[in-house]
Amino acid sequence: MKILLPFLALYRRHWFLLSLGIVLAIVTILASISLLTISGWFLAGSALAGLAGILTFNYMLPAAGVRGSAIIRTAGRYAERLVSHDATFRVLAHLRVFTFKKLLPLSPGGIARFRQSELLNRLVADVETLDHLYLRLISPLISAIVVIIVVTFGLSLLDMSLALTLGGIMLFLVFALPLTFYRAGKPIGADLTALRSDYRGQLTSWLQGQSELVIFGALPAFRAKLDTIEKHWLSRQKQQASLAGASQALMILSSGLTFILILWLAASGIGGDAHPGALIALFVFISLAAFEALGPVAGAFQHLGHVMASAERVNQLIEQQPEVIFPQHKTEFTPQAELSLENTYFSYENQPFAVLKNINLNIAAGEHIALLGRTGCGKSTLLQLLTRAWDPQQGTIKLNGRVLSEYDEATLREMTVVVSQRVHIFSATLRDNLLLASPDASDKQLENVLTKVGLSALLEQDGLNAWIGDGGRQISGGEQRRIGVARALLHKAPLILLDEPTEGLDADTEGQILRLLKQHCQNKTVILVTHRLTGLETMNQIYVMDAGEIIEQGTHHQLLNLQGQYYRFHQR
């Protein structure tokens, strides 16, 4: 149960609406009990009075009680649903924002082990499951206990023994049945949470990878795996439904047996009166109506296992500590970028070897350098360290003489622009995808930068309002890469980090992009990661990396004369 405490604490923000919902639920149940009880007593009393008692029996007061109880029950039920669901949705919105705020600082290191579909499932489905905590658990349980106390107290004014009998039976059921069905439903709820996540993850993979699955003939096998998960999921849902049916059947049986017991005891006399008459109907019908408060409680606790499993999965995200913590104080922005790395070591979590070893770099403001090497030698990781995606385990990284960890996140992002290997294109318009880099840019500026990177053709039909589509599916990989370059040109940052910016481009376009970057970045510091040699002769320095270390450095001509690794690259 401790795992639910952080989420229960969030309820304090909306305590008034949640409390009001519980009060309305209690009023509604009491009105329902009153309606059935007064109706039963009224009919029995009327029958016993007969025509002879038409002048002495008070018909008006019970009739008003029936009408009043019916109106209160109807209005109360509507108001309770309105208030309770509104409060629950507010709590869920708060919980989603709270979870997302905890998730953001974890990127990318803290969430690298989670698939995207898994993260989405935890943020949406698992958080949504937590609404059961109030609607199906807290509110019904509190309402049932209060109703039992009120009914027992009311009946005690007429007969203490009968009141305690009915109240004792209901209190026993309200604690015994939930505990029983919680234990029975806990493993089912945990399995349902895991199977739901697994199924949605597999389904997402199947939808995203249909082309590859069809090409390699793996679609039937993948679909069979998905069907197996679905059958297991449906089987557990059936078991949960059977458990819910069993809880309701047991509650109905308990209600019937209690009804018979109260009828038998009331028939022997009520409050010392051996001939209670219509009061027998009152006790009998109140025992039937009071069980309405217990109905939601027995079945609700079988969902507690489901709720706790979802809470545990959400906690796995929000309890993680960020790999990188930025200071809160604002750092001064400077229009230049001078970098230095001293004895920098870095290795990924649970990896036996270091990705970067003893990296030493000194890059003057406005200098253009290239990092060259085979795939996996640590080039891209080095760029990620410069953006503080991770911090090195050893060594220091300084920007303009200040340790990188002293910069607040906003200033560091303002001073740095990155063109990564995978340029993300949002499902939005062309304008929206460019304004990410410069929100204040005019349409004319956006059109000019698109023309510079050779994407003027995208403006021919709908202009900047052209819809790019989910993940940029309507444009080619090369066009996506050039949109990334266009963003870099729009962002007024003194440090430009380029990770394979011309990958997937033809030779002419590659030369055009490199010349454009050279012209645009004349007074900016540029670090270019590449495994191609095009344009490297214009670089101030070239660093050749291998197995996480810098093995050669110098200008293009110096490295050729050295006849080392760079020379062999050039010869090939």
Under the banding of pLDDT at 50, 70 and 90, the label for residue 24 is very high
Total tally of structural domains belonging to the chain: 2
Of residues 2 and 310, the one with the higher pLDDT is 310
Locus of tokens 């740095």: 416
Decide if pLDDT at 287 tops 90: no
**pLDDT reported for residue 56:** 61
Q: What 3-state class would DSSP assign to 356?
A: strand
Angle between helices 477-490 and 507-520 (to 10 degrees): 10
Decide if pLDDT at 314 tops 70: yes
24 within domain boundaries: yes
155 and 89 fall within a common domain: yes
Most confident among 132-141, 269-278, 415-424 (mean pLDDT): 415-424
Q: Which of 286, 318, 350 is the endpoint of a domain?
A: 318
DSSP notation for 261-294: HHHHHHHT-BTTBS--TTHHHHHHHHHHHHTTTT
d(CA 428, CA 420): 20
Lowest-confidence region among 5-9, 54-58, 114-118, 395-399: 54-58
334 within domain boundaries: no
90 and 207 fall within a common domain: yes
Q: Residue 488: name the closest of 434, 525, 431, 559 by CA.
A: 434
501 and 549 fall within a common domain: yes
pLDDT, the chain, mean = 82
**What are the C-alpha distances in Å from 415 to residues 105, 365, 501, 518, 528?**
19, 13, 19, 18, 17
352 and 235 fall within a common domain: no
Q: Which of 318, 352, 386 is the endpoint of a domain?
A: 318
Q: What is the mean pLDDT of residues 242-261?
A: 87
272 within domain boundaries: yes
**pLDDT-above-90 percentage for the chain:** 6
Q: SS3 breakdown of the chain: % helix, strand, coil, rounded to 5?
A: 65, 10, 25
**pLDDT reported for residue 235:** 92
403 and 292 fall within a common domain: no
Q: What 3-state class would DSSP assign to 396?
A: strand
362 and 497 fall within a common domain: yes
Residue 345 is part of a domain; what is its CATH number? 3.40.50.300
Q: What is the mean pLDDT of residues 418-438?
A: 84
Kindly report the CA angle at 313 between 309 and 316, in degrees rounded to 5?
Answer: 140
Most confident among 60-64, 299-303, 543-547 (mean pLDDT): 543-547
330 within domain boundaries: no
389 within domain boundaries: yes
303 and 375 fall within a common domain: no
* Structure confidence by residue, pLDDT tens digits, 60-108: 777 888 888 899 989 999 998 899 888 888 888 888 888 888 777 776 6
191 and 154 fall within a common domain: yes
Q: Which of 271, 286, 318 is the endpoint of a domain?
A: 318
Decide if pLDDT at 50 tops 70: no
329 within domain boundaries: no
422 within domain boundaries: yes
417 and 482 fall within a common domain: yes
280 and 404 fall within a common domain: no
Domain residues for 36?
A: 2-318
* Structure confidence by residue, pLDDT tens digits, 352-364: 788 888 888 888 8
**pLDDT reported for residue 257:** 92
306 and 353 fall within a common domain: no
**Contact residues for 195 (Cβ-Cβ < 8 A; gap 6+):** 229, 232, 233, 236
Instruction: Tell how strand 394-399 and strand 368-373 pair up.
Output: unpaired
Decide if pLDDT at 109 tops 80: no
Residue 170 is part of a domain; what is its CATH number? 1.20.1560.10
551 and 422 fall within a common domain: yes
d(CA 295, CA 166): 16
Q: Do residues 543 and 360 make contact, with C-beta atoms less than 8 angstroms apart?
A: no
